[in-house]
Amino acid sequence: MPIYEYRCTGCTREFELLVLRNSPTPACPSCDSQNLEQLLSGFAVNSEGTRQASIDKFRRSYKASGQRRDEQVAAVEYEKKEREEHGG
Judged by the rule CB under 5 A, the positions of this chain that interact with Zn ion are 8, 10-11, 13, 28, 30-31, 33
**Among residues 19 and 72, whose Cβ is nearest to Zn ion?**
72
Least distance in Å: CB of 49 to Zn ion? Answer: 25
Identify whether the C-beta of residue 7 lies closer than 8 Å to the C-beta of residue 37: yes
**Among residues 19 and 31, whose Cβ is nearest to Zn ion?**
31
Least distance in Å: CB of 18 to Zn ion? Answer: 18
For 1, the enclosing helix (H) or strand (E) is none
Q: Give the 3-state secondary structure of residue 24.
A: coil
Q: What is the DSSP letter of 23?
A: P
| Residue 47 region by backbone torsions, left for phi larger than 0, else alpha for psi between -120 and 50, else beta | beta
Least distance in Å: CB of 73 to Zn ion? Answer: 10
